[in-house]
Amino acid sequence: MSKLPLVISVPHAGLRVPAEVTDVCSLSAQEIADDGDGGAAEIYSIQSEVEAFVTTDVARAIVDMNRAPDDRRPDGVVKTHTCWNVPVYRRPLRDSEVEHLLGNYHAPYHDQLSELGRSGRWPLGIDCHTMAASGPPVGPDHGKERPWICLSNGDGTCPPTWIDGLRACFAELLDGPVNVNDPFRGGYITRSHGTEMPWMQLEMSRAPFLTNDGKRQMLLTAFDNWVKARL
Cα 55–Cα 60–Cα 66 angle in degrees, nearest 5: 70
Q: What pLDDT shows up at residue 1?
A: 56
- Taken in order of first residue, the domains within the chain and their CATH numbers are 4-230 (3.40.630.40)
Nearest-CA neighbor of 122 among 5, 2, 3?
A: 5
Q: What pLDDT shows up at residue 143?
A: 87
Sheet-wide strand order for 50-55: 50-55, 4-10, 124-131, 199-205, 149-152, 178-180
Nearest-CA neighbor of 69 among 104, 21, 36, 37?
A: 104
* Spatial separation of the C-alpha atoms in residues 105 and 107, rounded to whole Å: 6
Q: Tens-of-pLDDT digits for all 231 residues of the chain?
A: 589 999 999 999 999 999 999 999 999 999 999 999 999 999 999 999 999 999 999 999 999 999 999 999 999 999 999 999 999 999 999 999 999 999 999 999 999 999 999 999 999 999 999 999 998 887 788 889 999 999 999 989 999 999 999 999 999 999 999 999 999 999 999 999 999 999 999 999 999 999 999 999 999 999 999 999 987
Q: What pLDDT shows up at residue 136?
A: 84
* Spatial separation of the C-alpha atoms in residues 110 and 116, rounded to whole Å: 10
